[in-house]
Every structure is written in structure tokens, then in C-alpha cells.
A and B are shown apart, each in its own frame.
Chain A
Amino acid sequence: MRRLFYLLPLVGFLALVAVFKWGLNHDPRLLPSMLIDRPVPEMSLAPLPGRPAESGLSTADLKGRVSLVNIYGSWCIACVQEHPYLMELKKAGITIHGIDWRDDPVEGAKWLKKHGDPYDRVGADPAPGRAAIDFGVTGAPETFVVDRNGVIRYKHIGPITPEVWKTVLGPIVQELSK
């Protein structure tokens, strides 16, 4: 009995650890996105200047296969950081669509010429960025995972790194692609 009393700190501590372990996998910073598990908002974005008319992005384009929707802008520094990895993902056969957010579409197109274009389709969403607001975008870069039926399944904030892909986005895409 007396010995049990001295065990209390250990038991309490281990219970705490269990909650922490859980908490590590949940980022409290995420605003609960109201759009998770809802269909992609209605939109029809114009193509970037100098590109074919059918290369824009509309809601219907997101149906049929699992895709990523990546929010970028020529002004976005962190986007440069994730860009090479997006190129790799494209090579690996992942479908990525881009939204050139709150940007001069001319600059957005130039930027893609310079850094390479990992996108299947790119829609221009110049300021104030109506489509992005409907998506619940809070900054760039951000990436949404959209399933075959055009339903948003996940939202990632910040640049995609190999680590993020391996542990978070990759598994989700794989699961949805089954």
C-alpha cells in the first residue's frame, strides 16, 4: 500500500506522456478547415497569359483522379523552396494543379518558365484571390489533396518537404489512389 503511494508520480507522468504522444501528431495551429471532406468550391480560373485556353483550372478538372492543388505566387519566397520537390513529384507521376494566387498572372507565368512547371493545369487567381478565399487559403504555399470525386481531403500549410511528403501527404495520396 505504502509502496503504491510512491508509484503515483510515475503513473501520472506516463499518462501525461501518452497524451503528449498523441499531441505530437496534431498541430494545434491548424485552423479547422471547414472545407475538409467537402467538394471543391465552385470556380473557373483563367489560364496564365500565353497558354492555351483549356489550361485554366475549374472545379470539373479536379474530378476523375486524385490530385494536389498547390497555391503559389511569384512573390512567395517559401514557394521557391518547395518548387524543386514539386518537380520531382511530377516526375513521379503525381498530378499537381497550381493556383497562382494574388499575383500578376504575367509574373506567375514567367516564374514558372524560370523554375520549371510541375503543374497539369494552372489557374490565375489575381488579387483579391476570390477562389483561394473560398478554399480557405491562409497563405502560400499551401497544398490541398483532392480525391477522385473532387472532394478536398487534406490541407497542408507551408512548403512541402520530402519529410512532409513521406510522412503526411504521400500516405494520404496513396490511400486515396487505391
Chain B
Amino acid sequence: MIAEIGHFALILALGVALLQAVVPLWGARRNDPVLMGLAGPASVVQFLLVAVSFAALTHAYVVSDFSVMNVFSNSHTDKPLLYKVSGVWGNHEGSLLLWITILALFGLAVSLFGGNLPPGLKARALAVQAMITVGFLLFILFTSNPFERLDPPPINGQGLNPLLQDPGLAFHPPFLYLGYVGFSMAFSFAIAALIEGRVDAAWARWVRPWTLVAWVFLTCGIVLGSWWAYYELGWGGWWYWDPVENASFMPWLAGTALLHSAVVVEKRDALKSWTIFLAILAFGLSLLGTFLVRSGVITSVHAFASDPTRGVFILGLLVIAIGGSFALYAVRAPSLKTGGLFAPISREGALLLNNVLMATGAGTVLLGTLYPLFADAFDLGKVSVGPPFFNSVFVPLMVPMVLAMAAGPFMSWKRADLMGVLGRLKLVLGLAVVAAGVTWFLEGGTAGPWWAAGGIGLAVWLFLGTLAEWAERVRLFKAPAEALGRARRLPRAAWGMTLAHAGLALFIAGATASSAWKQESVQSQKVGEAVTVAGYTFTLTDVRDVQGPNYVASTGTFEVTRDGKPFATMTPAKRTYKMPPRPTTEAAIVGTFWGDVYAVVGDKDPDGGYVTRLYFNPLVPWMWMGALVMVIGGLVSLSDRRHRVGAPTRARAGAKTQPAKA
């Protein structure tokens, strides 16, 4: 019964969404406040209906109602409660329902917090948002009904893929979707602005926080996924340039570019059509990612089982949503008024450079991801495009961006003095070069990879450059006494930028070090034998079977010592789940300031040894720390007064164009 309620709620939600997609748009055209006002309540009702549906499916999972096909295929009574709940979105149908729920949630947020939005913009944005919902509701109702029944109900379920039975991956999809779907807000506002034919500072002020919310969630989601791959796949790597990873990374790049270009629209009334383009692109890439993961067009380890009907449906959605937007863009964007002028060397110029490089970067990732498909289509052979491609294309593109990233914030709006900025960064530049030199020397000149010194130098350049800009703002060195007060009065958005940029610097250091100086040793190890990696001595003392709630784990115990002193006891395991019967690898990781000590135990050899893999992964904790700092930066920026107060009226917005430099 409850499942039927869930299904029925979805059908009702479709009706409401249809209404919300048409009436407010019509109202905005006729400037009829009643019709426009319908959008608000409609989005509330729509959310409630979708929430009921989501709750119904969750209920079916929690009580293990195997008469629901979706529960039967993805759950089992033995599963811990956490994974019963996360099983809801651990499959195609359920994750789609989560998508829609989040979409409705964002619509709700606009109608709740959008009180001071111009009514026309609000009505149009909510209507566009509802159109997206309609598309996805049709998709789920016609091709992927999560409430389908099984008669007679089976005794037990088939269980959830053990790889998904992990806290990291349990929360990875919701965050990712909050990010993807969050970009739908920027998208809806962009389409609304195109329909209105007007983009101004108030518009940007509205779009920016929504984009920031999406960006924060997407960053969390990507990092969770990467962290999961790091400890669960047991290869010591954290990014594989897998199509599914790329699918989430491309919207991130476009979204990051959008965040920065929206600042230019807000402060300087420039780069309007570009910003609109990025808003469409960010959401378009999110949809594209969904399409790639679900259609089976591209192979990937994480892809949902492929189904051509669904693929055709999503492709259709993609054509209508993105093709339609780009068509509208081609018609309307040329008539958007261009605003403030600026010199190439200026804050705007630096932000534009960042944007162009980010967008190009996203383009190369897209090309690399789709190249196997192109090659197949044009009969160039079956190829796979792996990390070497992306490392040698994407990374070099990011080098000039990071170089500019430290200098950009020093530049004034409109026109900046490059020599002056570089003069102020002299010391930072010197220190970065020294850091690169020291790195080069320590890794023994040409013995290590040549790019490692460059990576560390870049990280130092960005970190110190960011700190220097902050110090200059609060006059840390010129007037130390007032610095604290100035720091307190510094806008939260400025703090956010400093944190996010510094976080990226930490991340670059970690990524460089872990790629360049990873030490690993793979061998067959008998109980009692010791192996030394990077100064850590791993003695395998025991391997035994441990019973888990729904698996058996063959757990190894390593006594790890460093310089003869005990360092840690590590217990990696190889689990074999009962339902479905699949093995997973659980790495044991002990983090230190300088890196992770990482151990994996594998199968037993015929001669009684165990295949073990032992790693030292330098500076990996810095990456997670860096990502965390970036997320915190995003949140701090989000708490900025001007976002909380909401968008000021259009008239006042034009006046706020003074340089932000203190």
C-alpha cells in the first residue's frame, strides 16, 4: 500500500510540476501577479509530494518489503540499517528518485528564501526548474519506476553490491546530486534571464550563493568518492580519471568558473553572456554526466547496468534541456547589453583567464572521456584513454591558472599594474623558487620525476601568495596593531576566497607528492615475515577469519615499527560478502603528517604466504585537508552578509563598483 502511495505521489507531483512549468511563465509574460504567484505554493506542494514518495521508498527498504522489486534487487535483511537506507539510492531507480527529491528541494528553497526576488524572475526561474522536474518525473515514471511490485514476494532480497556498503560511498551520491542538481538553480536563473533579456548585478547576486551551495556539495561529493576509491579499491590511488569521476569533475570545473565569472557580473556588470553560457554549461555537464553513467555509452567500473531505452530517454531530455537552452542562448545572448570595460591586465582580466582555462580544461576532460566513443564511431579502433592522457593534457593547462591565481587577487578592477603586483609578490616568488629548488635537490636531481619540483613550487607560490594578499588586506605588516580588527571586519567572501585558494594549494602539494614519491612493495609474505617500506617495517603476525554482520573477513594483522620503535598495529582485510557473494578489499591506513602508511592483504598462496601490498603515500592527508579547507572557504563565503541579506534592489546594485582592494 505504502509503495502505491509513493507511486501515486509521483504522478500527482508530475501534475503539479506541469502546472508550475506553464502558468507562472504565462503570468510573467502578461505581468499577472496572481498567475506568477502560483509558482511559490506549487513548488511547496511539489516538494511535499516528492518527499512522500521518497519516504515511501525508504520505508520499503527499512522494513525490507521484498514485494517491491527495487528492494528485492538491492537489499537483504542481513544488511545493517545504514546500508538499507543508502541502498535506496544505490541503484538506478532509487538514485533517480533522490535526484528528483533534491530538485524539488531546491525549488522549495527558492520559493522560501526568494521573497525579495523580482517577481518576474522568480516566476520564470521556478517555471524552468519545474520543466526540469517534469522531464525527470516522466523519465522515472515511464522507464524506471522504483515502486514496481513482485508477486509473489520473495523470501529475501538479492543484496546490495558490497562495494556500495561503505560509509564513504553511502553518502557520496547524495552529496554529488546536491551538487549536480544545485547547478540547476543557476541554470534556471540563466534561462529566466535569457527570457527576460536582462542580466544585472542583482541577478548575479542571486545566482552566486546557489552556485556556491552546489559547488560546496559537489566538492564534498567528489572528495568522498575519491577518498572511497583510495581506501576501498586498495590500489593506493585516489583519482583514476574514470568516466564516472570525470562526469562529476567536468561540472565542478564549469561551476568553479561560473562562481568566478558571477563575481565579475556582480561587481562590474561585465562578462554577462559568458556567465550565462557557463551556467548552462555547468548544469548541462551535470546532465551529461547522468547520461554517461546510465546509458552504457561509455564503460566504467561504476556505471549502472546499461539500458538503451533509458539512454534514449535521457538523451532526449538532454537534447530538449541543453539543446533548447543553447538555441535560446544563440537567439537572446547577442542582445544582452555589455557592461563595464576593462583592460586585459585587471582583476576582471585575471578572472577571465581563470574562466577560459577552466572551461578549456573541462573541454579536454570531456574530449578524453568521450574519445573512446569517437574512435569507435569513426572506426579508429577500440581505445581507452587513461590517466596518462589527462595528466599530460589537463595538468599543463592548470599550471598557468595556478600561476595567475596567486596574482589575480592583488589586481585592481578595471586596470591593474602587472609590474606592481609582481613587485609585491617578489618575496613569494623567491620562496616558491627556493622550495622548488630544495625539492629538486632532495629528490636527487634527475632521479625523481621532473615535474615534482614544479608542483611543489606551484603549491608554495599559491599558498604564500594567497596568505600575502590576506596579510596585505588586514595590513598585517604595515599596521600590526589594527590587523586583528581588520581581519574581523574583512568580508566573509574575502575570507572564503583566501581559504579556498589556500586549500587548493594544500591539495596541489598533496597530489604532487603522492603521485611523485609513492613507495610501494608487493610481495608474498608469510606470517612472521617482515617487509620494510619507506622506513616502516611491516611484520605480518596473524591472518584470521573474522565474522561480520553480512560478510566474512580474512583479516591480517601487521605490527608496524619505525626505527625499531612500535608505530602502529594495522589490520587490513579482504571481505567476502554473503549476498551478493563478492569480495572487497579493506585497506588499513594510518595517517601521519608526512603521509599515509597503507597496507592491503590479499589471497593466500599455495605455499602458505599471503600476497600483501604495502605503501607509503606521501602527503595524502594534505589533499583531504586541502579539500576540507576549500569546502570551509565555500561555506564561509556563503555566510557573507550580502548573501544573507539577499539581493538588494536593482538600482542600488549599480553603485557598488568600488575596487575591493583595501
Contacts and interface: CB of A to CB of B under 8 A. Distances in A.
Q: Do chains A and B touch in the complex (CB under 8 A)?
A: yes
Interface of A: 2-3, 6-7, 9-10, 13-14, 16-17, 19-29, 32, 163, 167
Contacts of A167: 308
Interface in B330-384: 330, 333-334, 370, 372-374, 376-377, 382
Given A9-B277, A19-B377, A28 B372 contact: yes
B308 A25 contact: yes
B329 A9 contact: yes
B395 interface: no
Interface in B276-307: 277, 280-281, 284, 291, 295-299, 306
Given A20-B315, A28-B376, A10 B323 contact: yes
Contacts of A19: 370, 373-374, 377
A29 B374 contact: no
A24 B313 CA distance: 11
9 contacts: A6-B329, A9-B326, A10-B329, A23-B377, A24-B308, A24-B315, A25-B308, A26-B376, A167-B308
Contact of A21 (B277, B284, B315): B315
Given A3-B334, A7-B330, A17 B296 contact: no
Contacts of A17: 315, 318-319, 323
A6 B376 contact: no
B330 A24 contact: no
B243 to A, nearest CB: 10
B297 A23 contact: yes
A133 to B, nearest CB: 22
Contacts of B373: 19-20, 23, 28
Nearest to A22: B377
Given A17-B315, A20-B291, A24-B295, A3 B330 contact: yes
A151 to B, nearest CB: 23
Given A20-B315, A28-B297, 9 more contacts: A2-B334, A9-B277, A14-B323, A16-B370, A19-B373, A22-B377, A23-B376, A28-B372, A28-B382
B330 A6 contact: yes
B135 to A, nearest CB: 16
B299 A28 contact: yes
A25 B309 CA distance: 10
Contacts of A25: 308
A164 to B, nearest CB: 10
B322 interface: yes
B362 to A, nearest CB: 13
Given A6-B333, A6-B334, A24 B297 contact: yes
B382 A32 contact: yes
Nearest to A17: B319
Contacts of B377: 19, 22-23
Nearest to A8: B330
Contacts of B374: 19
A90 B389 CA distance: 50
B63 interface: no
B273 interface: yes
A29 B295 CA distance: 12
A29 B296 contact: yes
Contacts of B295: 20, 23-24
Given A29-B296, A29-B299, A9 B318 contact: no
A19 B298 CA distance: 12
Nearest to B363: A12
Contacts of A7: 330
Contacts of B370: 16, 19
A59 B319 CA distance: 48
Contacts of B297: 20, 23-24, 28
4 smallest CB-CB distances across A and B, nearest first, come from A10-B326, A23-B297, A7-B330, A9-B326
Contacts of A3: 330, 334
A9 B326 CA distance: 6
A29 B284 CA distance: 26
A2 B334 CA distance: 7
B330 A10 contact: yes
A27 B296 contact: yes
Nearest to B309: A163
A49 to B, nearest CB: 29
A49 B318 CA distance: 55
Nearest to A31: B382
A65 to B, nearest CB: 29
Nearest to A24: B311
B55 interface: no
A9 B296 CA distance: 25
B590 interface: no
Nearest to A21: B315
A25 to B, nearest CB: 7
Contacts of A2: 334
Contacts of B318: 17, 20
A31 to B, nearest CB: 10
Contacts of B299: 28-29
B359 to A, nearest CB: 11
B315 A9 contact: no
A11 to B, nearest CB: 9
A32 B298 CA distance: 16
A24 B308 CA distance: 6
Contacts of B333: 6
Contacts of A13: 284, 322-323, 326
B327 interface: yes
A159 to B, nearest CB: 12
B82 interface: no
A3 B318 CA distance: 23
B312 interface: yes
Contacts of A22: 377
A163 B322 CA distance: 30
A99 B355 CA distance: 59
B191 to A, nearest CB: 14
